[in-house]
Amino acid sequence: MVVDASPVSSGSNFERSLTLTGGLPVAKGTVEYDTTALYVWISQARIDGNDALAAGERIGGASKGAFTIPTARLGTKDAVPGPAHATALALTIDEDGSERVVEWSMPVVLVGP
């Protein structure tokens, strides 16, 4: 059995600036595929040792285009305005009905109160 392990190129992305609401980032961006599920993680490493991690998900069929996903805190620390990193995994549906996992990750800036 031959497995195609080549990465799937993705034009999907997060907005460069993500808003904080109550210490939690709201993931926003664009996904270029129809999806069955979309998972996001936003991490913030800080020099004071109070790293923050938040995650969110959108389950159920959705068309390609803009997404907004609120997140929940995974640790005990709030995120603060400043640099962070956003990662996503999407279960996509190709035109022929086959499913693929697409991932993307990029630096972002958290903005807000």
pTM, rounded to two decimals:
0.84
Q: What is the pLDDT of residue 113?
A: 67
**pLDDT tens digits for range 37-72:** 999 999 999 888 889 999 999 998 777 889 999 999
Answer yes or no: is pLDDT of 5 > 50.
no
**How high is the pLDDT of residue 96?**
86
The residues pairing with 113 across neighbouring beta strands, listed in sequence order, are: none
> What is the pLDDT of the chain when averaged over all its residues?
87
Handedness of CA 74, 23, 110, 80 (dihedral sign): negative
pLDDT (tens digit per residue) in 7-34: 455 567 899 999 999 999 999 999 888 8
pLDDT of residue 49: 85
In CATH terms, 14-108 corresponds, of 2.60.40, 1.10.730, 1.10.10, 1.10.3470, to 2.60.40
What letter does residue 8 receive in the DSSP assignment?
P
Residue 15 · residue 100 · CB < 8 Å: no
What is the Cα–Cα distance from 27 to 3, expressed in whole angstroms? Answer: 33
